[in-house]
Amino acid sequence: MYQENPSAQVEATFRRIQSERMAGLPLLNPVLEVAAVGFARHDNDWRGVLVTPWCIDLLLLPATAGWTIPGPHERVFRQYASGNFAFLPNHEEGLGDYLICALIHDMKQFPDQATAHMTAQACLIALDLAPGQPQVDPAAPNSSARRKFLNLGG
């Protein structure tokens, strides 16, 4: 169980995996680095997106005691506004139990770390949007403010 944000442990674990198990594999995008993006509490989980040179995955880690993990190869589902997502259990030394949902496998399409990071952030935003729900930019002025600014009434 993680009482604090597990981003540092996620990054350390997957950097170790990169150097020990993934080194030299042709599927790696050499311009990308391991990054834990947007980890935050969501119900009983720490939820965030993991960017690596080989994939982008949605990860869940325990935020409360009693967090259960299914048996090997047994899927568990989480419902978000955008739909129902299947996760597989995993365990890594230094990180413990976690759930993983594959999002993107072809990392060669990313020209740089910034693009991969923005994609990870967009994935997190999209999770909480219902299908057909427009994305709202919190920095954008609301409609009445725009109408008033443009002197259109409102």
pLDDT in tens, the chain (154 residues): 899 999 999 999 999 999 999 999 999 999 999 999 999 999 999 999 999 999 999 999 999 998 988 998 899 999 999 999 999 999 999 999 999 999 999 999 999 999 999 999 999 999 999 887 665 555 555 544 444 444 444 4
User: In 3D, which of 121, 62, 75, 132 has the Cα closest to residue 101?
Assistant: 75
In a domain, 2, yes or no: no
Q: Both tokens of residue 143?
A: 């409609």
At 54, which CATH number?
A: 3.30.1460.40
How many domains does the chain fold into?
1
In a domain, 20, yes or no: yes
* pTM of this structure: 0.83
